[in-house]
Structure 1
């Protein structure tokens, strides 16, 4: 018989997040974090630049976390101290919706971050670009999202306003660091297959600029927890039908690897201003 996961119903996911936060405090020696950052594909080196590492722990030692299923995610939780003295929780262990574990596990890292005390959530990802003037390796700000998973992290009669979900204040702050940053609307598809050209045309028709398989559900959970959200996408490829060549995960990893030094420096400088 398979052992139940801590986040399976009827357990309270917020109580599990509080337990996970207590694990992080015990394992890192840091009682409270101010900022949390989820590092998606291509963003991993930012952790080296944000600040001094206080502690690094395997995510699997923290209640509710699983080993990442995707190459490009490091599988650790890292506590950093910025030069300005802020405590930053770096999440390198993202559970994707397409893994089939349910939304609770997808957003557990965000809820845990909030339980550690973090009031700002920075979400990053590697994604496909719909605008044909964007190029692989280009970072863009997420201004809004369209959730195409037909799911939500909110349970029961929980009504959360998503106006300005991706904080305009934080986007303006990021553009103060790099005025060239463009922005767009992120569409989260269920995955794990890439979108068809017709689906990309649909996304464009309904107002989307970026397509991917993460972030939107996490952002909703962050807002529910009262966090201010900043989102970045690394355009790793042009989306299906926009790109003249077939899509591959190897292409995503390679674009992220090539862009990593530049985008990591950008992210570290933005976090330094938070």
Structure 2
């Protein structure tokens, strides 16, 4: 298990490299999930840095993830966007999955907007819906805060009672109708993957209060909260989970649905950037 000293040394090296490459202090970080990377096309004064060029960064291996950080501005706000994330199921350790969030914190980023593609469990949801995350259930069997506490970032036992910022959620709910989106919130359950869940697992998740399910987001949100960042989460329901409808699941459907809602999603996130 990586020590606090080793982790801090890697973070400092990555931060030093990025500061040399980018003359910008981003205020907001955005993680773009599967098929949702086109938001980066809006960024002005753009500087794109592939993950493989950043010291100690993992490399994204999933279709639909461009695999780069993009620095710049949207409507005057300095931001950094992750086009593609890292997943536990790719074989990375939790501290590797969340390494970019620690780097953001070291660069002074105060807020995080995290998006994902998710399976719908709540029968009120439909494929293509954009749902605000109001809470989560960690079913991944691991936690990125396990091990040595990075005390320079946050406490040993961080509070998650408001893991998804209530004020930001209210602002998002208020503007959703402006973009043709039905205002909805839900609880996101994170599984380790990479297989899609069984119908029995979906029935279990529904019983314990989950509205949608995916294989990401929760590790990043845990580390973001530990480091004092405000967080807003959005799930794009790209398919109904196993057993909800009589159909088999595949990644092509996830990508097709994400592509279908891309224009609406991009407009909504741009509106959010102005509000947050």
TM > 0.5: yes
**168-177 or 196-205: bigger deviation:** 168-177
2:48 equivalent in structure 1: 56
1:76 equivalent in structure 2: 68
Spell out, residue by residue over 1:108-152, the C-alpha distance to the aligned partner (whole angstroms, 9 max, x if none).
111111111100011100010011221111110000000001111
Conserved? CA contact 1:28–1:56, under 8 Å = no
* TM-score, normalisation: structure 2: 0.91
1:19 equivalent in structure 2: 13
* Distance in 1 (alpha carbons) for counterparts of 2:128 and 2:200: 24
**Structure 2 residue 141 is the aligned partner of structure 1 residue 150:** yes
Which secondary structure does the structure 2 equivalent of 1:243 belong to?
A: coil
Number of equivalent positions:
264
Which secondary structure does the structure 1 equivalent of 2:113 belong to?
A: strand
**Structure 2 residue 83 is the aligned partner of structure 1 residue 92:** yes
1:119 equivalent in structure 2: 110
Q: Shift of the alpha carbon at 1:53? A: 3.5
1:266 equivalent in structure 2: 268
* Distance in 1 (alpha carbons) for counterparts of 2:118 and 2:45: 28
* Distance in 1 (alpha carbons) for counterparts of 2:38 and 2:45: 13
> Runs of 5+ in structure 2 lacking a partner?
150-155
* Regions of 4+ moved over 4 Å: none
Conserved? CA contact 1:53–1:78, under 8 Å = no
Q: Shift of the alpha carbon at 1:17? A: 2.3
Q: Shift of the alpha carbon at 1:156? A: 4.0
- The structure 2 residue matched to 1:192, chosen from 187, 191, 194, is 194
Conserved? CA contact 1:40–1:126, under 8 Å = yes
2:58 equivalent in structure 1: 66
* Distance in 2 (alpha carbons) for counterparts of 1:45 and 1:92: 9
Q: Shift of the alpha carbon at 1:153? A: 0.9
Conserved? CA contact 2:121–2:202, under 8 Å = yes
* Distance in 2 (alpha carbons) for counterparts of 1:102 and 1:260: 30
Q: Shift of the alpha carbon at 1:54? A: 2.8
Q: Shift of the alpha carbon at 1:18? A: 3.0
* Distance in 1 (alpha carbons) for counterparts of 2:72 and 2:206: 38
Conserved? CA contact 2:40–2:83, under 8 Å = no
* Distance in 1 (alpha carbons) for counterparts of 2:12 and 2:134: 30
- The structure 2 residue matched to 1:129, chosen from 104, 116, 120, is 120
* Distance in 2 (alpha carbons) for counterparts of 1:89 and 1:152: 25
> Runs of 5+ in structure 1 lacking a partner?
1-7
Which secondary structure does the structure 2 equivalent of 1:178 belong to?
A: helix
Which secondary structure does the structure 2 equivalent of 1:65 belong to?
A: coil
Q: Shift of the alpha carbon at 1:24? A: 1.7
* TM-score, normalisation: structure 1: 0.92
Aligned-residue RMSD, C-alpha: 1.4
